[in-house]
Amino acid sequence: MSKATDARAGTGLIRVDGVTKHFRRRDAPDTVALEDCSFTVEPGKLTVLMGPSGCGKSTLAYLIAGYLPLETGRITIDGAPVRGAGPDRMLVFQETALWPWMSVVDNVMFGPLARGSMGREQARREAEELLARFGLAEFAEKYPNQLSGGMKRRAELAQALINHPKVMILDEPFRGLDVMTRELMQEYYMQLFESTRPTTLFITSELEEAIFLADRLVFMSSGPGQIVRVMEVDLPHPRTFATMETERYLDVKKSVIGTLNESGAFETT
């Protein structure tokens, strides 16, 4: 395994414990974005956080990444409380994080250079390795606006992975891609995950995407955002798109939908 993509396997246990978050407003009643949310994201597993739009998924992602202050509850990574953002927790957003005025390879190198965690040569070598791995070797010197949507997402994954993060948080990274590209990216991303297994929290509002990717599925409901179910998804790895045509996948899907119906998770306010 190349050093550049070697996540710190076996570390990165995230514990979210009793987290409540209010957004205060001057002109209207406070929004209770999250209420008493508790779950864990285990090392080496892909945990999917799924729930309807507006239920508080991004708010949870920002709290875990340390971008938003935590008032009530506790969030720890390997036992240490989250205080502020850090390169050990990389958040990949649904919006592009590539700077349009920098070439693709410069974008990927930027994080470690800006922090001084790598010299130029090492950063360049690791960036090129990652881009090659993502099928972007020939696009290293291009600018983001010369890439397709799917390529931009791959470049963004490279941009996150060059930091050797302990945990990866992906907030609806494939939202807005056309259906074909999205499916290709899901399969591509699954291969990447299976080869490196970083502790991962993947956020989505799509059920099929959630089941295809998840080892563990954490389901939220809205108004206020609460965790309604945590389910283990017992589908074997490696998973490819063919997995979605297997009996086993359909059984899992039925059982997930059944469980969610029972828990009232589909009834959103």
Binding site for Mg ion (CB under 5 A): 58
- Closest contact distance (angstroms) between CB of 26 and ligand ADP is 11
Inter-CA distances, 132 with 26, 136, 154, 248, Å: 50, 5, 11, 34
Task: Select 26 or 179, whichever has its Cβ closest to ligand ADP.
Answer: 26
Q: Which two tokens stand for residue 22?
A: 């209010």
Residues 58-117 that bind ligand ADP (CB under 6 A): 58-59
Interacting residues of 56 by C-beta distance below 8 A, sequence separation 6+: 21, 33, 34, 37, 220, 222, 224, 225
For the chain, counts of helices (H) and of strands (E): 7, 10
Q: Which is nearer to ligand ADP, 82 or 108 (CB)?
A: 82
CA distance 197 to 136: 21
DSSP 3-state assignment of 168?
strand
- The interface mask with ligand ADP, positions 28-57, x = CB under 6 A, is ---x-x-----------------x-xxxxx
Those residues with Cβ within 8 angstroms of residue 262's Cβ, 6 or more apart along the chain or in another chain: none
Binding residues with ligand ADP: total (CB under 6 A): 11
Nearer to ligand ADP, 63 or 235 (CB): 63
Residue 44: name its binding partner from ligand ADP, Mg ion, none (Cβ under 5 to 8 Å by kind): none
Residue whose CB is less far from ligand ADP, 37 or 211: 37
| Cβ atoms of 205 and 50 closer than 8 Å | yes
Closer residue to Mg ion, CB minimum distance, 123 or 265 = 265
The one of Mg ion, ligand ADP, none whose footprint includes residue 23, by CB under 5 to 8 A per kind, is ligand ADP
Q: Measured between alpha carbons, how far is residue 171 from residues 16, 49, 56, 102, 168 in Å?
A: 17, 9, 11, 24, 10
Least distance to Mg ion, CB of residue 239, Å: 25
Name the site residues for ligand ADP (rule: CB under 6 A): 23, 31, 33, 51, 53-59
